[in-house]
């Protein structure tokens, strides 16, 4: 098992990464001193892992309730939040009750938001079960839900008490979801860790084959990168925005196609190719650099062009991005492989060229 730390003074917390951690709740008990927890999961993950977790906690004397939500990005909304609040209120959960998110990023983001808001804040634990959630969404405290007008538009920064990533849960993850998670892994290499990007160029097939050692290495290295960035800039006043490489385009794809049609990681992959194309047009990346990125995404079985939507539609949807300042879209671009920058100085002409070149 590897232990990393997210350094945020009194809100610091550990990330435990290892194979087979779920049935052994010893790592969680120190964070459940009040002896009461509510495990929140979905209809896909609960049949696979809920009983393992519940019986382990109950055998340690923790009283557990559970809430099972419908599965899918299209349910990351205020109706699901109401379902969580209803269940918490009906079972008289108190301020000391700990919420446990058992699932992928959709569950993690919603449970975190419920924890931030129920009784003005209760403790919560992240148990991510997808690659994407183990390398990205469970760490850093971004929580929230989608709005019909924009992705992740309603939410809060609220840190978990502990993150427990059991890599064995990835055994049951569909291949398409594994690839979607690899998209966010590649992101860390591109924005700030060139040696990791080069490692991925050598080892990407091992990740697809679910090689345990390669997966653990990639998860730990991704979490290390994320923990450093979050430790420097928890509330995204600067460096943290770089973690959104490809997301301005990607969120437009997810929203424009209807939540759940393109997986988040797929939209980020196509969006990252658009950001790479724009970076080349800015004179920063070479054709060869863009080719290396495309090649890696293709080997990871991820899309490298966006879906057909008009340039105007893309621009309208991108205008809803959280990074927009005074009506101006700001982009995370690549100055070089392994080095990213945030800029608002992109001409409409260049953006149109990218959108025309990078969509189906």
Residue 192 touches which of ligand NAD, ligand GLY, none (CB < 5 to 8 A by kind)?
A: none
d(CA 347, CA 217): 39
Distance from C-alpha of 176 to C-alpha of 110, rounded to nearest angstrom:
22
* 46 is a contact residue toward ligand NAD (CB under 6 A): no
Nearest CA-CA partner of 297 in 271, 336, 318: 271
Asked whether position 71 contacts ligand NAD by CB under 6 A, the answer is yes
Residue 222 binding target from ligand NAD, ligand GLY, none, CB below 5 to 8 Å by type: none
Identify which of residues 258 and 291 has a Cβ nearer to ligand NAD in the complex. 258
Question: Are the beta carbons of 195 and 339 closer than 8 angstroms?
Answer: no
Token pair for residue 225?
């990168």
Q: Which of 54, 142, 187, 192 is catalytic?
A: 142
Residues near 86 by beta carbon (within 8 Å), at least 6 away in sequence: none
Of the residues 40, 54, 101, 177, which one makes contact with ligand NAD according to CB under 6 A: 177
Is residue 128 within 8 A of residue 138, CB to CB? The reply is yes
Q: Under the criterion CB under 6 A, does residue 266 sit at the interface with ligand NAD?
A: no
244 is an active site residue: yes
The listed partner (ligand NAD, ligand GLY, none) that binds 244, CB under 5 to 8 Å by sort, is ligand GLY
Q: Is 126 in the site for ligand NAD (CB under 6 A)?
A: no
Length of the chain: 360
What secondary structure letter does DSSP report for 71?
A: P
Residues whose CB falls within 8 Å of the CB of residue 285, separated by 6 or more in sequence, listed in order:
276, 279, 334, 336, 337
Q: Is 103 in the site for ligand NAD (CB under 6 A)?
A: yes
CA 32 from centroid of its chain's CA atoms: 25
Beta strands in 24-79 (DSSP E): 36-42, 63-69
Q: Return the residue of 264, 280, 294, 330 that touches ligand NAD, per CB under 6 A.
A: 264
184 is catalytic: yes
Contact residues for ligand GLY (CB under 6 A)? 136, 140, 142, 240, 243-244
* 193 near ligand NAD (CB under 6 A): no
- Examine the residue annotation and report whether 63 is marked as an active-site residue of this protein: no
Q: Is 173 in the site for ligand NAD (CB under 6 A)?
A: yes
Interacting residues with ligand NAD (CB under 6 A): 42, 44-45, 48, 71, 73, 76, 103-107, 109, 129-130, 132-133, 136-137, 140, 142, 152, 169, 172-173, 177, 180, 264-265
């Amino acid at each position: 098992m590897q232990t990393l730390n997210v350094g945020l003074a009194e809100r610091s917390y550990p990330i435990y990464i290892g194979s087979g951690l779920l049935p052994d709740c010893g790592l969680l008990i120190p964070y459940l001193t009040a002896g009461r927890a509510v495990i929140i999961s979905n209809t896909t993950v609960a049949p696979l892992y809920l009983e393992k977790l519940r019986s382990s906690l109950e055998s340690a004397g923790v009283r557990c309730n559970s809430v099972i939500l419908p599965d899918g990005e299209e349910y990351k909304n205020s109706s699901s939040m109401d379902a969580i609040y209803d269940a918490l209120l009906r079972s008289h959960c108190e301020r000391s009750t700990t919420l446990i998110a058992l699932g992928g990023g959709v569950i993690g983001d919603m449970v975190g938001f419920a924890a931030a808001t129920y009784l003005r804040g209760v403790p919560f634990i992240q148990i991510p079960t997808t690659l994407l959630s183990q390398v990205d969404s469970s760490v850093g405290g971004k929580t929230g839900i989608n709005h019909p007008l924009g992705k992740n538009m309603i939410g809060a920064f609220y840190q978990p008490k502990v993150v427990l990533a059991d890599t064995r849960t990835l055994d049951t993850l569909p291949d398409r979801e594994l690839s979607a998670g690899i998209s966010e892994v590649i992101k860390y290499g591109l924005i700030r860790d060139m040696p990791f990007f080069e490692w991925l160029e050598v080892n990407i097939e091992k990740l697809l084959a679910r090689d345990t050692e390669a997966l653990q290495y990639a998860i730990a290295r991704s979490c290390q990168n994320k923990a450093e960035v979050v430790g420097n800039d928890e509330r995204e006043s600067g460096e943290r925005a770089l973690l959104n490489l490809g997301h301005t385009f990607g969120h437009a794809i997810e929203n424009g196609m209807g939540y759940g049609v393109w997986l988040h990681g797929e939209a980020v992959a196509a969006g990252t190719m658009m950001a790479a194309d724009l970076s080349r047009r800015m004179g920063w990346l070479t054709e060869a650099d863009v080719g290396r990125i495309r090649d890696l995404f293709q080997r990871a079985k991820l899309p490298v062009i966006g879906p057909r939507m008009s340039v105007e539609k893309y621009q309208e949807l991108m205008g809803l991005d959280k990074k927009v300042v005074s009506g101006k879209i700001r982009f995370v671009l690549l100055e070089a492989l392994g080095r990213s920058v945030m800029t608002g100085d992109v001409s409409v002409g260049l953006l149109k060229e990218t959108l025309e070149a990078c969509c189906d």
